[in-house]
Amino acid sequence: MQFALLVYESPEAFAARNSDGTDPYTGAWRAYHKALVESGAYLAGDPLEVPETETTVRLKEGRRRVQDGPFADTKEQLGGFIIMDLPSIDAALDWAARCPAAALGAVEVRPLAPESKRRITG
Amino acid sequence: MNGSGQEGIHREIERVARESYGRLVAYLSSHTRDVASAEDALSNALVAALTTWPRDGVPQNPEAWLLTTARHSLIDVVRHQQVAAASEPTLLLLREEPKEATLSAEFPDERLKLLFVCAHPAIDPAMHTPLMLQSVLGLDAVRIAHAFLVSPTTMGQRLVRAKTKIRDGGIQFEVPQERELPQRLDAVLEAIYAAFGIGWDEMAGVDQRGQDLAEEAIWLGRVLLQLLPREAEVRGLVALMLHCEARRPTRRGPDGRYIPLLEQDSQQWSLPLIEEAERHLAEAASRGRNGRFQLEAAIQSVHAERARSGRTEWAAIKLFYEQLISISPTLGTRTGYAAAVGAASGPEAGMAVLDGIDLDDVSNYQPYWAVRAHLLKRLGKASEAAHAFDRAIGLAEDPAVRRFLLQRRG
C-alpha cells in the first residue's frame, strides 16, 4: 500500500535551509532519508522551494486570478512530500513520527488513491 | 451550595470514579460479558452523581451508590438495545441480585477476570493494552489513541469491535485454570508492560502523556499484584517498572537534553522506589520461579546498584541477559545483550553478537543501530560508525535522542 507523507514546516525549519548544512535539523533529515531508503519503503520524494516562491492560480468568471504566495496563510506551510510503500497505516504513522519535521511542524499521512487514478488513466 | 463546595464534590466524584472504575466495570460486566454497556451504565451513574451529590450530599458509601445507580441504568441500556430475546438472560441476571448490592458495601472484585478477558488470545493482541486502559482504568479513547499514535476514531472503532467480540464471541469471564494460567498471565503482563514501554521509551520527557501512561501502567501492575500476590512474575514486572521509574528525573538535563543511563547522576535516583523494587524482587526470588520480567528487573537492579557502589557490574548484567535470551530471544533482548557484552568483554565481542542478528529484522529497529554505532565508534571505525549513527538518528522518534546521537556522531 502506498502512502504520501505531506511535510508541513515552520518558518524556522525553512530558515534552516540557508545554513551550512551542519545544523541539527538538516543533519536529522539526512539521517532520516538514509533510514527511509535503506528500509526499502521509500519510492519518491522531494522538498519544495520556500512558500514565498509560490504562486496560486484560480479561474473566476473565465478570468485568471493570480495570487502571489500560498493559498492558505498559516504558520506551517507545505515543505515537501515523501511517497512510501508500506504494509499498513501504522507503519506509515511510525515513519511520520520519526520525520524531523514532526517535532517542529506537522506531517500528514494519506494513502494514495490508485482506484481514482485508474478511472482517470483508464 | 457555594462554588468551592461544589468543586469539592466534583473532586470527590473524580476520586471515586478513579478508584472504583475498574472494580465497577468488572463487576457489572462479569455477568453480562458486555463491557461496553457496563461502561455506558457507569458513565450514566457518574453523570447522575454530578447532579445528585451536590444537592443531597455525598452518600455514605459512594461506590455502592454508583453500583446501584449503574445497575439500574444497565437494565435500561439493555432494554433499549431491543434485542429482547438475546437480552433476556442478561435482564434476569441483573434483577437477581439487586438487594445484595444495595445493602452491602462489599461486592466481589472481578478486576482480575476483566484483565484476563482484555488479554484473551481471541482478541487482537494490539488491542490488549488499550482495552485494559479503558475498561480497568477508565481512560478515554482519545487519550489512548494519542498514546498509541492512531486517530481517535480508529481507536474508538477498534475498542468497540473488541468489546463486541467479548460480548458475542463466547469469551468467558473467568480466571484461567492453574494449567493455562502462566500463558494467559503472560499476555496480561505483556499488555501492562507495553503501556509502560510506550510511556517510557518513546514519549517520556517529550511530553506529559508519556509520563501519565507510565504511571497508569504502574497502577495496573499494582492492581494485578493485589489480586495475584503469589505470582513471582507479577512482582518481577512491578519491580522492573519501579526501577525505571526511579530514574525518571535524571533522564533529561534541565535543558531537555537526553542523558543516557550510564551518564545519569545516580545520586538523584529515587531511593524509596529502588528499595520498593528490591523488596518485590527479593520476594519474587523466594518463590523460586524465574521468568522474563524478574530477569529484566534484575538487570535494572544491577544498574541501580551504581547508586551505592559507584560502578556497574557488567559481568552480572551479561549473565542475566544470557538467561533472558534463553527464555525470550527477542530483538530487544539480543540488542541489549550485545551492548552488555560490548561493555563487559570489549567492542569486538559486542559486534560479534550484533552480527549474529539477521539484517532484515533490524531495518526499522532503532536500538540496534544505536548500539552498533556506539561499538563501531569505540573500535575506531569512523565511517562505518557514521553510517550506523545515521540509521539510528533517522529511526529515532524523540528529538532529544536525535540531537544526542547527532552530537555523538560528530
d(CA A29, CA A47): 11
Model-wide pTM > 0.95: no
d(CA B111, CA B133): 12
Backbone angles phi, psi at A55, to 5 degrees: -130, 135
Q: Which residues pair with A60 in a beta bridge?
A: A63
H or E element at residue B384: helix B382-395
What pLDDT is recorded for position B410?
Answer: 84
With beta carbons under 8 A apart, name residues in chain B contacting A33.
394
B364 and A31 within 8 Å at the Cβ level: the answer is: no
Question: pLDDT confidence of A39, banded at 50, 70, 90?
Answer: very high
Which residue from B275, B343, B324, B334 is spatially nearest to B304, judged by alpha carbons? B275
Taking CB atoms and an 8 Å cut-off, how many pairs form between chains A and B?
55
Phi-psi region of B330 (alpha: psi -120 to 50; beta: other; left: phi over 0): beta
Query: Within 13 Å of residue B402, how many CA atoms lie on the same side as its CB?
Result: 26
H or E element at residue A68: strand A63-68
Beta-carbon neighbour count of residue A26 at 10 Å? 17
What pLDDT is recorded for position B133?
Answer: 86
Residue of B nearest to A25 (CA): B403
Enter the C-alpha cell of residue A20: 551550512
Closest approach of B394 to chain A, Cα-based (Å): 3
Q: Which residues pair with A4 in a beta bridge?
A: A83, A110
d(CA B148, CA B270): 28
A72 lies within 8 A of chain B by CB = no
Whose grid coordinates read 479513547? B141
Closest approach of A49 to chain B, Cα-based (Å): 23
State the maximum Cα–Cα separation within chain A, in Å, rounded to a whole number. 50
B406 and A31 within 8 Å at the Cβ level: the answer is: yes
User: In this complex, which of B150, B395, B406 lies closest to A27 when CB atoms are compared?
Assistant: B406
What pLDDT is recorded for position B208?
Answer: 53
Enter the C-alpha cell of residue B354: 550484533
B402 lies within 8 A of chain A by CB = yes
What pLDDT is recorded for position A80?
Answer: 97
User: In this complex, which of B150, B390, B399 lies closest to A31 when CB atoms are compared?
Assistant: B390
What pLDDT is recorded for position B4?
Answer: 54
pLDDT digits (tens, 9 = 90+) for B91-128: 555 555 544 444 445 677 888 889 899 988 888 888 99
With beta carbons under 8 A apart, name residues in chain B contacting A39.
363-364
B127-B129-B134 Cα angle (round to 5): 95
H or E element at residue B65: helix B62-80
With beta carbons under 8 A apart, name residues in chain B contacting A94.
149, 364, 397
- Distances in Å between the Cα of B336 and the Cα atoms of A35, B208, B403 are 21, 27, 22
A99 lies within 8 A of chain B by CB = no
Which residue from B242, B229, B238 is spatially nearest to B189, judged by alpha carbons? B238
Residue of B nearest to A93 (CA): B149
Helix (H, G, I), strand (E, B) or coil at B177: coil
- Distances in Å between the Cα of A109 and the Cα atoms of A5, A8, A81, B289 are 5, 11, 10, 47
Closest approach of B374 to chain A, Cα-based (Å): 16
Q: Does residue A101 carry a pLDDT above 90?
A: yes
pLDDT digits (tens, 9 = 90+) for A56-81: 999 998 899 998 888 777 889 999 99
Enter the C-alpha cell of residue A33: 532519508
Enter the C-alpha cell of residue A22: 551542519
Sheet with A42-47, strands from edge to edge, namely: A42-47, A77-85, A2-9, A106-111
Which ipTM score applies to this complex? 0.79
Helix axes B331-345, B314-327, angle to 10 degrees: 150
- Distances in Å between the Cα of B131 and the Cα atoms of B124, B160, B163 are 10, 10, 8
Query: Which letter does DSSP use for residue B201 in this model?
Result: I
- Distances in Å between the Cα of B325 and the Cα atoms of B172, B275, B296 are 34, 27, 11
With beta carbons under 8 A apart, name residues in chain B contacting A89.
150
B150 and A90 within 8 Å at the Cβ level: the answer is: yes
Query: Within 13 Å of residue B186, how many CA atoms lie on the same side as its CB?
Result: 9
Rg (CA), chain A: 17
A34 and B391 within 8 Å at the Cβ level: the answer is: yes
d(CA B205, CA B226): 30
Q: Which domains does chain A have, with CATH numbers?
A: 2-121 (3.30.70.1060)
A17 lies within 8 A of chain B by CB = no
- Within the 147-176 window of chain B, which residues sit less than 8 Å (CB to CB) from chain A? 149-150
With beta carbons under 8 A apart, name residues in chain B contacting A24.
402-403, 406
Helices (H) and strands (E) in chain B, counts: 20, 0
Closest approach of B386 to chain A, Cα-based (Å): 10
A100 and B402 within 8 Å at the Cβ level: the answer is: yes
B391 and A100 within 8 Å at the Cβ level: the answer is: no
Which residue from A38, A48, A36 is spatially nearest to A6, judged by alpha carbons? A48
User: In this complex, which of B149, B363, B409 lies closest to A40 when CB atoms are compared?
Assistant: B363
What pLDDT is recorded for position B203?
Answer: 45
Which of A90-112 are b and which e, b meaning 16 or more Cβ less than 10 Å from the residue's Cβ?
ebbbebbbbbbbbbbbebebeee
What pLDDT is recorded for position B240?
Answer: 97
User: In this complex, which of B394, B397, B399 lies closest to A31 when CB atoms are compared?
Assistant: B394
What pLDDT is recorded for position B204?
Answer: 44
What pLDDT is recorded for position B18?
Answer: 78
The pLDDT averaged over each successive group of 10 residues in chain B (410 residues) is 67 82 89 88 91 89 91 81 56 53 61 89 88 85 78 90 88 83 86 81 50 81 89 96 93 90 94 97 90 96 95 96 94 95 97 95 93 97 96 92 93
Beta-carbon neighbour count of residue B33 at 10 Å? 19
Query: Within 13 Å of residue B23, how many CA atoms lie on the same side as its CB?
Result: 17
Non-local (6+) Cβ contacts of B181 within 8 A are B175
For the four alpha carbons of B91, B93, B94 and B97, in that order, the dihedral sign comes to: positive
Closest approach of A74 to chain B, Cα-based (Å): 23
With beta carbons under 8 A apart, name residues in chain A contacting B365.
none
Are the beta carbons of A92 and A20 closer than 8 angstroms?
no
